[in-house]
Amino acid sequence: MTKLIIFTDLHMVPEGTTIIGLDPHQRLANGIAHVNRYHADADRVVFMGDLTHYADRASYERLKRLIDQLTPPVAITIGNHDRREVFRDVFADAETDENGFVQQAIDFADCRVLLLDTLFAPPYDYPTSHAGVLCAKRLAWLDRQLADAGDRPVLIFMHHPPHRTGFSGMDMIRLANEAEFYDLVKRHGNVRHIFAGHVHRTISGSSRGIPFSVFKSPVHQQPMPFDAPDASLSVDEPAAYGIAVVTADGVLVHTEDYEIARRDAAIA
Q: Does the residue 268 lie in any domain?
A: no
* Range 239-250 average pLDDT: 96
Name residues whose C-beta falls within 8 Å of residue 65's C-beta, 6 or more positions apart in sequence.
none
Domain count within the chain: 1
pLDDT digits (tens, 9 = 90+) for 177-187: 999 999 999 99
DSSP result, 245-264: EE-SS-EEEEEE-TTT----
Q: Does the residue 127 lie in any domain?
A: yes
Q: What is the pTM assigned to this prediction?
A: 0.96
Taking 80 as the threshold, does the pLDDT of residue 62 lie above it?
yes
Q: Does the residue 161 lie in any domain?
A: yes
- pLDDT attached to residue 266: 72
| Among 95-99, 196-200, 224-228, the least confident range | 224-228
Q: How confident is the model at residue 190 (pLDDT cuts 50, 70, 90)?
A: very high
Q: How confident is the model at residue 84 (pLDDT cuts 50, 70, 90)?
A: very high
Helix (H, G, I), strand (E, B) or coil at 214: strand
Q: Does the residue 75 lie in any domain?
A: yes
Q: Does the residue 266 lie in any domain?
A: no
- pLDDT attached to residue 261: 86
CATH of the domain at 119: 3.60.21.10
* Range 51-74 average pLDDT: 98
Q: Does the residue 52 lie in any domain?
A: yes
How far apart are alpha carbons 140 and 207 in whole angstroms? 22
| CA-to-CA separations, 262 to 256, 257, 266, in angstroms, rounded | 10, 10, 10
How far apart are alpha carbons 166 and 178 in whole angstroms? 15
The amino acid at 61: E
Domain of 236, in residue numbers: 3-256
Alpha helices per DSSP H over the chain: 24-38, 57-67, 84-90, 136-149, 168-171, 178-188
- pLDDT attached to residue 83: 97
For the chain, the straight-line distance linking the first and the last C-alpha, in angstroms and rounded, comes to 32
Q: Does the residue 264 lie in any domain?
A: no
